[in-house]
Amino acid sequence: MSVIKKLHQVTTDGALSFSEKVNRLLEIGTEVLGLETGIVSYVHNDTYTVVQAISPLNEIASGATFPLADTYCADTVNANGIMAYNDIDVLPGASHPCYALYTLKSYLATPIQVDGNLYGTLNFSSTMAKKEPFSALDFDYLLLLADWIGAEVARDEALSEILSQKTALEEQNAQLNQITELAGVGTWELDVETKSLIWSAALKRMLKLNEKQDMTPAGALRFMANDKVESLYRSKMREIAETGEDWTYEFEVITDAGEKRRLKNSAHPIMKDGRCLKIIGATRDITDRFNTTQALKQKTAIAEQALKARSEFLANMSHEIRTPIHGVQGMLETLNSSVLTDQQKEYASVAMRSSESLLNIVNDILDFSKIDAGHMSYDVEPVNFKELIEHQIPMFSRLAQKKGIELITETANVSNTLFLADSLRLSQILINLLNNAVKFTDEGSIKISARSTKYGVGRFRVKLIVTDTGIGISEEQQKVIFSPFLQAEESTQRRFGGTGLGLAIVSNIVEHYDGKIEVSSAIGEGARFVVSMTLDCANAGSIRDKSPAIAINRTTPISKAVLSESRVLVVEDNEINQIVIKEQLKEIGVSVEIASNGALGLEKVKSAIARRKPFDLILMDCHMPIMDGLTATKEIRELGETIPIIALTANALSGEKEKCLRAGMDDFISKPVGVSRLGDCINYHLWHKQEMFKDPA
């Protein structure tokens, strides 16, 4: 019997299952090709799954999975065509990764296509080598079998999909009926031609009607609360029939029991050849929700008005109180400069300390009221952080000396850098932290440290660390210590006073500078506060005031030697974009590596650093799965690396560039980007390497 006839008999036998048909087709293949083993596989995401197999010992189980790379079928998939090895010892030989894994000596396979896409492979093999190469007839048989098996797979998948859809539709219909009843949704249907109207039982119950009562369009209109609603309803129904567009609306009705209710109605026209046949709809009683929403709006308006009044009151009162306090302090200073007895000096000193405490409280309230009202302002000026700290230290040194506490400062790390910030707000951070440290420390020491590390071009990550040996803070209270009006313990407030606003204000200031404040402490073991902020460097000008670097590009191109020795990492999740950028960079003349997300990019950077072959430049997409570009940039900057990082993103909305620069990136290019513009950017950021090379050309 011919091969074609055998194939026809198998595929037209309605009594055979899909598995039985494939098994018969594999048997036919082993017979005509003279190979003992036949396998149909499914390939997905580099995984090879056995769909059906026949072999002398039946040792290959359906459903078994292997890494595709561990099979000879990886060659078939990569070639996207027939792969034939009549003697594996000769070709591909012992160097092939699969040689040591299997005892195969001959192999013949081709991809299986289903609906134009790769499904898997059809392969036949033997533990004996074939003396002669596979013939063209062998190839024809193989392709014929693959086509027939592909057709059977497609037919089986289509049947499964139909059965699945049928089951899903039946379940959905049953669920829909249950849901509409449970949710109190009433449905209706209007026949435009006959003017017949059908209401569901749920809708009739909603309007307090007898479920057996028939409904007409005219009868439905009598439930409208007033003529205006009825007129709108009539006009909209005509509009739906003419335009074929949906309409959702809310309106008030009066039920058959005389009760006012608010309904939400959604209408959808059924059109055919531009003519409306029916209008179907769903109606829901939203009276309770509507009343609740109205009540919430009213309460929200009252609450917002109260918050505004509170903030304005606090701000006004703080200003009003500050004026007389300054008068009191001025008079006390004048009094102290006059001739006083020792007792009078003591009294004046007590009064001055009391006025200072009162002023601190008022200042806290004023600042918090500004934050609460969103009116906190920040100046931008060059600030020497070392000098700012040294300016505040003398005041606290006197307090520390009185208590016998050692005050230690470490500011050398920030001595040569000016930062763009508000000196008053930075002082507030320092004063609040030092004031707490001195207040809650009776013996031991207080240490103030300031550090800075580069965080991209013209930007620094600045840290202020205040450590004391005071009474400490419990773990429970550390959770609320930065909340307004809360102190570490109730007993603390009674003993030391204060508003509990200081650390809340510090936290808000730190957040403004894209930073955070952290505390580590234990009762009786002191406390350590760490403030981290991202500040622009004033020495070189603010990066935020600059246009993208490519706009002020070097006029002389970098030499080919520099480019050929430069390594660029592209962190991009889109495969097409990867290819485009890679080709563009090849045209420019640099070496390229690709990472498909921020996490992989970060690992490549770490690996390159470990090998002492760091990248010269990174092109970073912003929006990626697993880890986005902004997070990856921050992680790279935490490594202490100053590699130029260029944002490469399709998002050109306002504020995107600023977000990238704040994250530690050096430049911003929006997609699409051409080779010329990309080359200009690379030219600018790799110019510093020009002096290290000489162009052989």
Count of helices and strands (H, E) across the chain:
20, 23
Asked if residue 36 lies in contact with residue 127, where contact means CB atoms within 8 angstroms, the answer is: yes
Q: Which fold has domain 381-537?
A: Heat Shock Protein 90 (3.30.565)
CA 264/CA 252 separation, integer angstroms? 9
What count of residues does the chain have?
A: 697
Q: HSE-up of 192 (CA within 13 Å, CB side)?
A: 18
Within the chain, all domains assigned CATH 3.40.50.2300 are found at: 548-692
| CA nearest neighbour of 125 among 34, 37, 209 | 37
Are 296 and 313 in contact, with CB atoms under 8 Å apart? no
* Superfamily the domain 548-692 falls into: Response regulator (3.40.50.2300)
CA atoms within 13 A on the CB side of 253: 24
678: CB partners within 8 A, 6+ apart: 581, 584, 585, 588, 669
Residue with tokens 């008079």: 331
Q: What is the CATH number of domain 291-373?
A: 1.10.287.130
At 92, list the tokens. 């591909």
Is 552's pLDDT higher than 50?
Answer: no
Dihedral of the alpha carbons of 525, 529, 530, 533, in degrees to the nearest 10: 180
Q: Where in the chain is the domain with CATH 3.30.450.20?
A: 183-285
Question: Is the distance from CB of 400 to CB of 438 less than 8 angstroms?
Answer: yes
Q: Using the 8-state DSSP alphabet, how is residue 546 labeled?
A: S
Please give the single-letter amino acid code of residue 141: Y
**Measured distance CA(268)–CA(237) in Å, rounded:** 10
Phi, psi at 542, each rounded to 5°: -80, 130
Of 293-307, 411-425, 595-609, the poorest mean pLDDT is in 293-307
- Please say whether the beta carbons of 678 and 670 come within 8 A: no
pLDDT at residue 557 tops 90: no
Pick the CATH number of 183-285 from 2.60.120.380, 3.30.450.20, 3.30.360.10, 3.40.50.1980: 3.30.450.20
> Per the omega criterion (within 30 degrees of 0), is the bond before 92 cis?
yes
Residue 541's pLDDT band (cuts 50, 70, 90): very low
Name residue 649's beta-bridge partners.
670
CATH pick for 3-160 out of 3.40.50.2000, 3.30.450.40, 3.90.1150.10, 3.40.1410.10:
3.30.450.40
Nearest residue to 648 (alpha-carbon basis) of 639, 640, 656, 638: 656
pLDDT of residue 52: 94
Instruction: Specify the pLDDT at position 144.
Output: 92
- Please name every residue paired with 224 in a beta bridge, in sequence order, or none if there are none: 253
Q: How far apart are CA 248 and CA 161, in angstroms?
A: 34
Tell me what pLDDT residue 553 has: 40
Q: What is the pLDDT of residues 674-688, one digit of tens each?
A: 677 788 888 888 887
Tally Cβ neighbours within 10 Å of residue 313.
11
* Alpha carbon 681 to chain centroid, angstroms: 27
Q: How far apart are CA 336 and CA 159, in angstroms?
A: 99
Q: Residue for token digits 């009343």? A: 291
First vs last C-alpha separation in the chain: 73
* Residue 653 pLDDT class (50, 70, 90 cuts): very low
Higher pLDDT, 312 or 649: 649
Query: Is the bond into 672 cis (omega within 30 degrees of 0)?
Result: yes
- Residues 218 and 245: beta-carbon distance below 8 Å: no
pLDDT of residue 369: 60
Nearest-angstrom CA–CA distance, 54 and 123: 11
Q: Identify the residue with better confidence: 447 or 559.
A: 447
Beta-carbon contacts of residue 511 (< 8 Å; ≥ 6 apart): none
Pairing between strand 617-620 and 645-649?
parallel
- Answer yes or no: are the C-beta atoms of 82 and 108 closer than 8 Å: yes
Write out the residue limits of the CATH 1.10.287.130 domain(s) in the chain: 291-373
List the alpha helices (DSSP H) in 244-341: 287-337
Note the pLDDT of residue 78.
Answer: 95
Cα 289 from Cα 129, distance rounded (Å)? 78
**For 457-506, what is each residue's pLDDT tens digit?**
888 999 999 999 999 988 888 888 887 655 544 444 444 444 556 788 88
Q: Which of 239, 216, 240, 220 is nearest to 230 (CA)?
A: 220
Helix H segments across 469-543? 475-478, 490-496, 502-512
